[in-house]
Structure 1
Amino acid sequence: MPTPLITNDAIILGIFLVLLTFIFQTSQSSHPFWQQLYSYIPSLLLCYIFPAAMNSLGIISGEQSSLYKVSTNYLLPAALVLLTSTADLRAIARLGQKALITFLSGTVGIIAGAPIAFALVMWLLPGFREQAIAHEYWKGLVTISGSWIGGSSSQLALKEIYGCSEELFAIILVVDAVVSTSWTACLIYGAAYRDKIDAWLHADTSSIEEVRLRILAYKEEPDRPANLVDLSTILALGFGGGALAHALAYGFSTSLQPYKTALATYGLDPFTSNFLWVVILSTSLGIGLSFTRLRKLEKLGTTDLATLFVYFLIMTIGMRLDLSNLGGNLGLFLVAVIWMLIHVIFMLTTARLIRAPYFFVAVGSQANIGGVSTAPAVASVFHPALAPVGVLLAVLSHVLGTYGGLITAWLMRLTTQ
C-alpha cells in the first residue's frame, strides 16, 4: 500500500475542521452562487466527497488513520445523546392529533415501503435480485430509512450496525440526496396549490390556525451566550451518556452471544452486536434526559455541537472511500423512487381519512425525509409563525430514527431470503 502524503492524524483533523467551517459558512451564505450550488449538492454530500477525493488522490489514507474509529466510538454516541435530549415531547403532543397522526403515517410509510419497493424492483428488474443479494444492497438501503426517519446520526448508526461498505454507502448517499431533494421541491411547489389540495383532502384547516395562534402566544425565554460551565455540562452530558451506553452495552451484547445462532434464524442476530446496544442505549438515555431540566441546554448550543460531531463523522467515513471504484446503480434509484411514492400514498390516504390539511402532509413528510434543516423551511412557506411545527416534528423524527431503522432492516433482510 503506497504511503499517503499526510499521515499525521492531527494534521488531518485540522484540515477536516477547516473544510467543515468552509462548508458551513458557504451553505449559509446569501450569495446566489452558493445558494444555487447547495440547492443541487447538499452540504452533507460535500462533507463526504471532499475527504473521499483526498483519499482517492493519495493525500490521506482512511485505512491508516484512527479518526474513523475515534469518531464512531466517541462522537456518534455523544451526538445521539445530545440530539435526543433536546426533544420537547410534551410540546410535540400539544400539536394535536391530526399533525401527529399524519406525521406518523409518513414514518410507517417509510418502514413498510422499504421491503415493498425492494421486493418489487427485484421482481421487475432482470438480474437485480441476484445483484442485490450478492452485494447485500439491503445494508445500504436501510441507511436511507435511518436518514429519512432520523437524520444523519441514525443513518450513520445503521451503517455501522449492519456493516454497509463505503462503496455502497457512497452510491446510497447520492440516491438519498437526489430523491429526497426532488421530493422537497415537490412539497414546496404544492404549497402554491394548497387550497385545491385541501379541497381534495376535505381538510379542516381550522387546526392550522389553532397551532399558529398557540405558537404566536408562546413566549420563549431569551437566549444567552454559553459560558464555561454550560459548555462543560453539554460535553459531560454527551460523552458521559456515551460512556454509560458503552458500559451497559457490553453486558447486553455478551449475554446474548450464546443465542446468536438462534437469533439469526429470525434476522435478529445484530442484537448480539456491542455497537448496536451502544446506539440503542445512547438514544434511549437521551430521550429519558429530555424529560429533565437538561433539555434546556438546547438554548446553549447542544444541537449545534451534536451536528458538528455528526458532520465530522461523515468526513471520516468519506476518507475511507476510493472514488475510482464508484459506480451508479439504476436499480437502487428505482427502489428509492418507489419507496418515496409509497410514503406519499400513506400520508395522503391518512390525511384524507382524518381530513388533515396539506400543511400537515408537507411538514410531516419533510420532518421525516429532510429533518430539522428543511422541515422548518417548508413550514415557513405556509406561514413564518408555523416554522416551529417543522422543528418539533423533525425532533420527533430524530427520536424515532434508530428504532424505525432497526425494524426496516429486519423487514428488508427478509425480502432477500
Structure 2
Amino acid sequence: MITNGFTYVAFLIFFAAMIVLAEKKSKGKFFTYVPAIVLLYFGAMLLSTLGVWQNSNKEITAVYKALKDNLLPAMIFLMLLRCDLRKIVKLGPKMLIGFFAATITIMIGFIVTYILFKGFYEPDTWKSFAALSGSWIGGTGNMIAVQGALDIPDSKLGYTLLMDSINYSIWVMFLLWAVSLAPKFNKWTKADTSVIDEIGAELSKHEEGLRKEIQFSDIIILLGVSLLVSALSIQFGGMLPKSTFFQGTTWTILIATVAGVIFAMTPLAKIPGSSQLSNLMLYTIVALIASRANFAELTKAPIYIISGFVILGIHALLLSLIGKLLKLDLFTLGVASLANIGGVASAPILAGAYSEALVPIGVLMALMGYIVGTGGGILVGKILSIL
C-alpha cells in the first residue's frame, strides 16, 4: 500500500503515461470509443477501490489537495490560450448560431431530464449533471473546472465519466452515420451550403507558416506564466465577496478563464506547447480525482446511462427544429453538437467526414466550447440546485 505523498503522485502520473503510450501504440479502434482519459479515470478508480493507496492518509490527502487546487487554474488558462475570439468570429453568423443553439439545447436537455428522473437519482445528483454539462458544452477540462468551482465531491464524478464515455461514444457514431443523410436533411431545412467551403478554405490559411516545433523556452515560459496566473487567481479569488453559490474557488476559476480568453489575443498565444502542457495538467488532475473515487459508489449506473440518452434525444430534437426554422444545414448542426459534446478530439473528425477543407471549422467550434463550457456548467448547476 502506498502511504508516501510523492510516491502516490509519481505512480498516478506513471499510470497515466502508460495509458497514453498504449493509446499511441494501439492499432485497433478501442481508443476511438473509449478515450484514454476515461480509461485513466476508471483505471485509477479501480486501483483506489483495491486499496493500492490509503486515501485517509494525511500526507496523501495534503498532496492531493495542494496539487489539484493549484494546477486547475493553470490548466484552464493554458487550455484557453488557443481560443482567439477574433478567429472564432470568422466562422460567420450561421455557424455561431448553430453552435450556441447546440449549447442551449444541451442545457435544456439536462434540465428537463433532471426533472423527469429526479425521483430515481441519488441525493445531490445535480452536481454530477453540472459537471457533465460542463464537459458536454466544452470538454473534460471544463468538467474539472465546474467541479472545482462548485466544490463537487470526487465521488460524484463516477457517474459523470460513465455517461461521458458510453453516451458520448454512441453519439459520435450516430453523427458519423448521419453524414450520408446530409442532402435529404438540407433539402428539408432548405439550407444554403454554398458558403461553407469558402469559410473552411479561409480558416486553413492561418495555420500555414506557423512554427510547429516546441522548444525548451516555450515550455518554461508557458509553465511560468500559467502557474503565476494560477497563484494570482487563487489570491484574488479569495478576496472577492462570497455567497452560497459563489465561493472563493468559483471566483478563482472565473478569473483564470477571463485571463485565458484575454491572453489568447496576445503574442503569448503564438508560443507552441500550450495544448500539450494543458493536457499534461488535465491528465494529472483527472488521475488525482479518480484516485479518491470508489466503484462501490456506482450503484445506480443504468438510470444515469438512460438519462444520458434522454438528454441527447432532447438536444437532437430541439436542434433539428432550430435547423428547420433558421434553415441550417446538417454539417453546421452536427459539428456544432459534437463541438460541444466531443470537443477538439472529435469535432474535426466529423468535419473531415464531410470534407477535409472543413476540418478547421470543427477545430474552432470546439475551441469555442472551452470558453463557454465552464460558465454553462455552473449555470446548469445553479438551476438544478434550485430544482
Interval of TM-score (by shorter of Structure 1 and Structure 2) = over 0.9
Which residue number in structure 2 is paired with residue 370 of structure 1?
342
- Using the TM superposition, give the Cα deviation of residue 185 of structure 1 relative to its aligned residue in structure 2, in angstroms: 0.7
Instruction: Report Cα offsets for 1:60-109 as digits up to 9, x if no partner.
Output: 12342134212322111100011112212111111111111001101111
Which residue number in structure 1 is paired with residue 255 of structure 2?
281
Report the CA distance shift for 1:385/1:67 in structure 2 as closer, same or farther (over 3 A).
farther
Long gaps (5+) in structure 1: 261-268
Which residue number in structure 2 is paired with residue 46 of structure 1?
39
Q: Conserved in 1, the CA contact under 8 Å of 2:179 and 2:354?
A: yes
Correspondence 1:255-294 to 2 at 5 A:
255-256=241-242, 260=243, 269-271=244-246, 273-294=247-268
* CA–CA separation in structure 1 for the residues paired with 2:4 and 2:69: 20
- Using the TM superposition, give the Cα deviation of residue 147 of structure 1 relative to its aligned residue in structure 2, in angstroms: 0.5
In structure 2, what residue type is equivalent to 1:22? M
Instruction: Report Cα offsets for 1:142-189 as digits up to 9, x if no partner.
Output: 111011012112111222333433333212211221111111110000
The reply on whether 1:62 has 2:62 as its aligned counterpart is: no
In structure 2, what residue type is equivalent to 1:44? I
The reply on whether 1:354 has 2:342 as its aligned counterpart is: no
* CA–CA separation in structure 2 for the residues paired with 1:163 and 1:58: 25
Please say which of residues 221-230 and 113-122 is displaced more in the overlay.
221-230
* CA–CA separation in structure 2 for the residues paired with 1:411 and 1:6: 41
**Helix, strand or coil for the counterpart of 1:95?**
coil
**Helix, strand or coil for the counterpart of 1:206?**
coil
Please say which of residues 360-369 and 161-170 is displaced more in the overlay.
161-170
- Using the TM superposition, give the Cα deviation of residue 366 of structure 1 relative to its aligned residue in structure 2, in angstroms: 0.5
- Using the TM superposition, give the Cα deviation of residue 9 of structure 1 relative to its aligned residue in structure 2, in angstroms: 2.5
* CA–CA separation in structure 2 for the residues paired with 1:63 and 1:371: 35
Which residue number in structure 1 is paired with residue 197 of structure 2?
209
* CA–CA separation in structure 1 for the residues paired with 2:377 and 2:325: 27
Q: Conserved in 2, the CA contact under 8 Å of 1:67 and 1:316?
A: no
* CA–CA separation in structure 2 for the residues paired with 1:383 and 1:147: 26
Correspondence 1:237-248 to 2 at 5 A:
237-248=225-236
Which residue number in structure 1 is paired with residue 293 of structure 2?
321
Report the CA distance shift for 1:401/1:63 in structure 2 as closer, same or farther (over 3 A).
farther
* CA–CA separation in structure 1 for the residues paired with 2:325 and 2:56: 52
TM-score (norm 1): 0.87
* CA–CA separation in structure 2 for the residues paired with 1:358 and 1:21: 38
Instruction: Report Cα offsets for 1:230-261 as digits up to 9, x if no partner.
Output: 22210122111111111110110xx33xxx4x
Correspondence 1:99-114 to 2 at 5 A:
99-114=95-110
Q: Conserved in 1, the CA contact under 8 Å of 2:150 and 2:378?
A: no
Q: Conserved in 2, the CA contact under 8 Å of 1:63 and 1:320?
A: no
Which residue number in structure 2 is paired with residue 265 of structure 1?
none
TM-score (norm 2): 0.94
- Using the TM superposition, give the Cα deviation of residue 30 of structure 1 relative to its aligned residue in structure 2, in angstroms: 5.0
* CA–CA separation in structure 2 for the residues paired with 1:26 and 1:203: 43
Which residue number in structure 1 is paired with residue 24 of structure 2?
28
Report the CA distance shift for 1:213/1:324 in structure 2 as closer, same or farther (over 3 A).
closer
In structure 2, what residue type is equivalent to 1:238? S
Q: Conserved in 1, the CA contact under 8 Å of 2:154 and 2:292?
A: yes
* CA–CA separation in structure 1 for the residues paired with 2:179 and 2:333: 11
Q: Conserved in 1, the CA contact under 8 Å of 2:102 and 2:336?
A: yes
* CA–CA separation in structure 2 for the residues paired with 1:274 and 1:163: 10
Report the CA distance shift for 1:218/1:295 in structure 2 as closer, same or farther (over 3 A).
closer
Which residue number in structure 2 is paired with residue 393 of structure 1?
365
Report the CA distance shift for 1:236/1:41 in structure 2 as closer, same or farther (over 3 A).
same
- Out of 81, 85, 88, the residue aligned to residue 92 of structure 1 is 88
Q: Where in structure 1 do 4 or more consecutive aligned residues deviate above 4 Å?
A: 216-219
Instruction: Report Cα offsets for 1:377-401 as digits up to 9, x if no partner.
Output: 1111111121111111111100001
The reply on whether 1:146 has 2:134 as its aligned counterpart is: yes
Report the CA distance shift for 1:59/1:216 in structure 2 as closer, same or farther (over 3 A).
closer
Q: Conserved in 2, the CA contact under 8 Å of 1:74 and 1:242?
A: yes
In structure 2, what residue type is equivalent to 1:15? F
* CA–CA separation in structure 2 for the residues paired with 1:377 and 1:370: 10
Please say which of residues 153-162 and 91-100 is displaced more in the overlay.
153-162
Long gaps (5+) in structure 2: none
Q: Conserved in 2, the CA contact under 8 Å of 1:80 and 1:286?
A: yes
- Using the TM superposition, give the Cα deviation of residue 216 of structure 1 relative to its aligned residue in structure 2, in angstroms: 4.6
**Helix, strand or coil for the counterpart of 2:70?**
helix
- Using the TM superposition, give the Cα deviation of residue 357 of structure 1 relative to its aligned residue in structure 2, in angstroms: 1.4
Counting aligned pairs with the same residue, the percent is 26
* CA–CA separation in structure 1 for the residues paired with 2:117 and 2:169: 22
- Out of 391, 406, 410, the residue aligned to residue 378 of structure 2 is 406
* CA–CA separation in structure 2 for the residues paired with 1:218 and 1:52: 42
